[in-house]
Amino acid sequence: MGLGWPPPRLGASVGGMRSPRPCRPGPSLPWAAAGVALWTLCLASSATATSTELQIAYQRFRLDNGLTVILHEDHTTPEVAVNLWFHVGSKDEAPHRTGFAHLFEHLMFMGTTRVPDGEFDRIMEALGGQNNASTDEDRTNYYESGPAPLLPTLLWLEADRLTSLADAMTEKKLNLQRDVVKNERRQSYENRPYGGVELALVDRLWPTGHPYHHPVIGSHADLTAATVKEVQTFFRTYYVPSNATLVVAGDIDPKTARAEVERYFAWIPPRPPPLHLTPPPARLAQPATVRLQDRVQVAQVTLAWHAPALRRRGAAEATVLAAVLGGGRSSRLQRRLVYDTKLASEINVKHDTHEHDGILEITANVGEGHTAAELERAIRNELGLLALGEMPSEREVERARAFVERTTLEALDGLNARADALNEYESMFGDPGLLRRDHLAQFVRVSPSDVRWIARLIFAEPDVAVIVTPRSATRAH
């Protein structure tokens, strides 16, 4: 019952290709397929420099089984994107099972009874579909895109693995993906210059037992320990409709798309939503310094503080603060340390946000002829000036806001990027309308005194420093 077999063939979808209604006729861009022309139906942004609302329209509904669905039209290309978020990430992992959520993400591609190992990708690619997934601390997302007529097939494939993956799980599949993930760890951290920094940071920023204490990739030992039974339990706990949000975006007709979603997902029985614990706020009792040696030629200093979490009070201010400090050549740290004194050859500042915590992170490469200690001192000095010295100027905060506004827009470039943003607002806040109303607007409000306020709040707390220095090249025998 439910899904049926085989998956829908092209042309068998409910409804056909829709005809275009150009919102803004322009110079002809002869994209002849399915009458797609140059337009962006009702997505045209009439934004001027002062408008801060994003014209990203959507429709939203919820199935009886708890699955929330968002539909978003965009006819820029004749493509459709399916974007599914599960509210589970590395923060939900059991002790000694770090890396599990991400390993599980890999396993989602390993096949079901109806769509055995490898068929998922074969079906999709035979029809021009692409797919991928990602895992972080808080959520796991699966996304596909392809020609618009492929939508029913994409939905069918997602519904199939959502409902029957656990039944077809085997030791062999688990072993294989374990190896792939271990290779990913080697490539992304162990064999990469400065790859140990991120691992050291999470280890020290949060205490043992805190959900954010371990890296998403997990440890080799814990990956080895995972069992098939645990995979099945994890699946049945977290991969349930009430813990998921689905966005369908692109060259769609909302009525047809809705009917297709209901056809493939409405039959899925409800299951109780999993418990999501809110971890206690983490505060460092004292600063920590980690010293690493690596096969690098240039030393590197990384300093990190706890900062506001995703969309919490102070988050927008912290993001603008990061731009005041490091966004562009005339930012505080770049101007003083890279271009004036050359203590650093490169500096990056970012405000990273998770669901329950955030990090303000400064990474700087040491300039020729200088030491890590000098650079660290100079950075702290600049932070002190910002927090306790003269109020930041209106101009520099304006620049920082322009920087953040631009990066925010860039991050929304593309169908899947917008689908993902809608999904984040739905999944984390239950309100995709926030994307339109406040995603840009949150930064416009930030003033110089706000920047100083958040700088004082953040930098008053202890930090974690990770210093990487070059190791000598002789091999230990």
Partner 1 sequence: MLGPFQFSARTTSLAGGLKLVEVPRSTLPLVHVAVVVQAGSELDPVEMPGLAALTARALDEGGAGTHGPREMGEVVDDLGAELHVKCLRSGVIFDLAVESSRLPGALAMLGDLVSRPRFDETELGAIRDRQIDDRKHELDDPHQMANDAMSRALYGPHPYGHPTLGTVRSIAAIRGADLRAFWSAHYGPRTTTVVIVGDAGGAALSSLVSTAFAGWKSEAAPPTVAPTTLVAPSRIILIDKPDAPQSEVRVGHRGESWSSRELTTLSMLEMLLGGTFTSRLVQNLREKHGYTYGVTAVWDLQRAGGTFHVGSAVRTDVTAAAIGEILKELRGSLAPIPVAELAKCRVMMQSQFITDWGTSKGTAMTLAQLAQNGQSVELLNRLVATSATLTPESLATRAQTLIRPSELVIVVVGDRQKIEASLKTLALPVELAQPVN
In a 3-state reduction of DSSP, which class is residue 292?
Answer: strand
Q: Which of 31, 273, 284, 314 binds partner 1 (CB under 8 A)?
A: 31
Residues 55-114 that bind partner 1 (CB under 8 A): 74, 76-79
Our finding on whether 54 is near partner 1 (CB under 8 A) is yes
Contacts with partner 1 in 181-200 (CB under 8 A)? 182-184, 186-188, 190-193
Tokens found for residue 223: 């990956």
| DSSP secondary structure code for residue 168 in this structure | G
Q: Cα–chain-centroid distance for residue 331?
A: 26
Nearer to partner 1, 91 or 102 (CB): 102
CA 88, CA 93: separation in Å to the nearest integer?
9
Nearest approach in angstroms of CB 341 to partner 1 is 10
By the rule CB under 8 A, 219 interacts with partner 1: no
Would you say 403 or 459 has its CB closer to partner 1?
Answer: 403
Stretch that binds partner 1, among 305-313, 347-355, 364-372, 446-454 (CB under 8 A): 364-372
Among 90, 363, 365, 427, binds partner 1 (CB under 8 A): 365
Residue 132's beta-bridge partner residues? 143
- State which of residues 12, 15, 22, 44 lies at the interface with partner 1 (CB under 8 A): 44
The span from the CA of 34 to the CA of 40, in Å, is 15
Regarding beta strands 300-307 and 464-470, do their DSSP bridges make them parallel or antiparallel, or are they unpaired? antiparallel
- Separation CA 151–CA 80 (nearest Å): 7
# binding residues, partner 1 (CB under 8 A): 87
- In the bound complex, what is the minimum distance in angstroms from residue 230's beta carbon to partner 1? 20
- Give the 3-state secondary structure of residue 391: coil
Please choose, from the candidates 465, 161, 427, the residue with its C-alpha nearest in 3D space to the C-alpha of residue 304.
465
Closest CB 248 distance from partner 1, rounded Å: 15
Q: Closest distance between partner 1 and the C-beta of residue 415, in Å? A: 5
Distance CA 320, CA 338 (A): 20
Q: How far is the CB of 412 from partner 1 (least distance, A)?
A: 6
> Binding to partner 1 (CB under 8 A): which residues in 143-172?
145-147, 149
Q: Which of residues 281-300 bind partner 1 (CB under 8 A)?
A: 295-298
Binding mask 406-445 for partner 1 (x = CB under 8 A): x--xx-xxxx-xx---------------------------
CA atoms of 365 and 367, how far apart (whole Å): 6
Contacts of 175 (CB under 8 A, 6+ apart): none
Cβ partners under 8 Å of residue 370, min gap 6? 342, 343
Q: Is 8 in the site for partner 1 (CB under 8 A)?
A: no
CB atoms within 10 A of CB 183: 11
Q: Which is nearer to partner 1, 184 or 253 (CB)?
A: 184
DSSP-assigned letter for residue 340: I
- Touching partner 1, residues 318-337 (CB under 8 A): 327-331, 334-335
State how far the Cα of 166 lies from the Cα of 327, in Å rounded to an integer: 46
For 352, the 3-state DSSP assignment is strand
Q: Cβ closer to partner 1: 64 or 125? A: 125
| Beta carbon of residue 268, minimum distance to partner 1 (angstroms, whole number) | 26
Q: Which is nearer to partner 1, 128 or 287 (CB)?
A: 128
